[in-house]
């Protein structure tokens, strides 16, 4: 069953990248954007949101493959500041 429980992804991202709560907050903000798309008809999304989402997915997939770059962590922390 599909759910919108973001907790597992948020916790895994924070564990992989050092437990910084700003990363968890970023996942929450992106989930808010997702909700506005689905429930409020939002049609325009900031490029920075798309880039952050891409980087989150990449970190989670790369971690499963056994490699995560520090550059992605830094890029996500920058995204936290700009959102």
- 37-71 residue pLDDT tens: 999 999 999 998 999 999 999 988 888 888 867 78
Domain ranges of the chain: 7-82
High-pLDDT (> 90) share of the chain, %: 27
Instruction: Give the pLDDT of residue 62.
Output: 87
Instruction: Look over the chain and give the mean of its residue pLDDT values, rounded to a whole number.
Output: 86
Confidence of residue 2 (pLDDT cuts 50, 70, 90): low
Confidence of residue 21 (pLDDT cuts 50, 70, 90): confident
* DSSP string over the chain: ------HHHHHHHHHHTT--HHHHHHHHHHHHHHHHHHHH------HHHHHHHHHHHHHHHHHHHT---HHHHHHHHHHHHH-
């Amino acid at each position: 069953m599909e759910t919108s429980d973001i907790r597992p992804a948020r916790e895994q991202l924070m564990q992989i990248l050092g437990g910084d709560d700003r990363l968890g907050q970023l996942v929450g903000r992106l989930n808010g954007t997702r909700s506005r798309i689905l429930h409020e008809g939002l049609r325009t999304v900031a490029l920075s949101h798309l880039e952050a989402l891409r980087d989150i997915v990449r970190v989670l997939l790369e971690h499963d493959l056994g490699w995560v770059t520090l550059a992605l962590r830094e890029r996500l922390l920058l995204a936290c500041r700009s959102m």
